[in-house]
Structure 1
Amino acid sequence: MIMHIPTEISAQIYMLKIIIITKIYVIFQPHTYSRTKAFLNEFATSLKAVQNVIITDIYAAREKNPGDIHYQKILYQL
């Protein structure tokens, strides 16, 4: 599933839990530095609902790395 904002992540995790899927694995690749920075806390909060999370490096798309945001900042909050 492709999700770009924290509310989409939370909604998908909630749906999986409703249908009683006990082991949920999330592989999350943040999309753009600006979005990751803007929603950093919200992404972490959404992903805390799952025990098995893999976060990859940020997909820059059209942006250059500003040097002040990294995917590990989400991991620190989990």
Structure 2
Amino acid sequence: MSTHAPQAARAVTLPTTLDEAVAALAAVPAAVPVAGGTDLMAAVNSGQLRPAALVGLGRISEIRGWQYLDGHALLG
């Protein structure tokens, strides 16, 4: 059993538009998008994942909600 705490991501970005999120993910290719984070934090806490950066998606109104239309799931 390890006594070391998991290493935190070096940067956290909280974009408010889809364009900002895409730019943040492009700027740091190893960044992990976060929407909720339950599975992500389990992987970090177990040592399976060490994200270089996190990009939070919760403030982006363009992708809130979804609908199922003509056999396709649509975001936003």
The normalised TM-score by structure 1 is 0.28
Q: Which structure carries more helix by proportion?
A: 1
Structure showing greater Rg? 2
Q: Which structure carries more strand by proportion?
A: 2
The normalised TM-score by structure 2 is 0.29
